[in-house]
């Protein structure tokens, strides 16, 4: 794919273009880029291109709790092209009525022309409630699912890892992002 004419919101660096060229249409891909090299930007550009091509209509970003608000407040507004109409919802374990109404709107199957983005902290996948909400979201959308700081799911015995692996059959496209995929041993890569 030629990216020279794509309306990126922020101009990509050469290494980001190369990462995007390698990953854009693959069903599964790992962005192993060190901190500060723009993994989030590449992911959002990848999602934007797939959305523009009609291949996805939703994005689920699984992230550490400390980064949860970083996605909706900084990364998405900074990097997702402006021509893409979007709805962004941040996971809340204690749902307010307003949050539930926004979620219900996102799981309707009539959101043509809108990219629905759900950001969820990885800890939510240790609970049945979190898994059910994400599963319902994925069941009604052609989605990409991305796990930011994917070393958080390296332990195959952890409940959140087991739950995420079950849910991984639902999205059309899957991405993991981390700067250091192996923290202790090569087996760290297995669940990721």
Domains and CATH numbers, the chain: 27-191 (3.40.50.10810)
Phi-psi map region of 149: left, alpha, beta (phi>0 left; psi -120 to 50 alpha)? left
pLDDT at residue 14 is higher than 80 = yes
Buried b (16+ CB within 10 A) or exposed e, 115-127: bbbbbbbbbbbee
User: Smallest Cα–Cα separation from 62: which of 143, 132, 3, 150?
Assistant: 150
Determine the pLDDT at residue 154: 60
Contact 95, 130 (CB under 8 A): no
pLDDT at residue 18 is higher than 50 = yes
**How many residues can be counted in the chain?**
192
The per-residue pLDDT for range 137-189, each reduced to its tens digit, is 999 999 999 988 756 656 667 787 888 889 989 999 999 887 554 455 444 44
Neighbouring-strand partners of residue 60: 118, 145
C-alpha dihedral sign at 7, 12, 14, 17: negative
Average pLDDT, the chain: 86
Determine the pLDDT at residue 159: 81
Alpha-carbon Rg for the chain, nearest whole angstrom, is 16
Q: What is the pTM of this model?
A: 0.89
pLDDT at residue 105 is higher than 60 = yes
Q: How would residue 126 be classed by pLDDT, with cut points 50, 70 and 90?
A: confident
Determine the pLDDT at residue 58: 97
Determine the pLDDT at residue 104: 93
């Amino acid at each position: 794919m030629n990216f020279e004419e794509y309306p990126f919101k922020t101009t990509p660096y050469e290494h980001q273009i190369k990462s995007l060229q390698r990953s854009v249409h693959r069903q599964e891909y790992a962005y192993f880029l060190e901190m500060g090299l723009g993994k989030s930007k590449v992911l959002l550009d990848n999602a934007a291109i797939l959305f523009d091509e009609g291949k996805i209509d939703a994005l689920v970003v699984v992230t550490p709790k400390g980064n949860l608000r970083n996605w909706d407040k900084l990364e998405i507004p900074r990097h997702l092209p402006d021509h893409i109409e979007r709805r962004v919802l941040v996971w809340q374990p204690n749902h307010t009525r307003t949050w539930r109404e926004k979620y219900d709107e996102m799981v309707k199957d009539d959101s043509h022309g809108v990219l629905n983005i759900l950001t969820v902290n990885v800890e939510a996948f240790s609970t049945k409630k979190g898994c059910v909400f994400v599963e319902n979201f994925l069941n009604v959308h052609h989605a990409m699912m991305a796990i930011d700081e994917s070393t958080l799911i390296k332990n195959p015995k952890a409940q959140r890892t087991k739950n995420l692996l079950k849910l991984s059959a639902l999205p059309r496209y899957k991405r993991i992002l981390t700067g250091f995929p192996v923290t202790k041993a090569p087996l760290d890569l297995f669940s990721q």
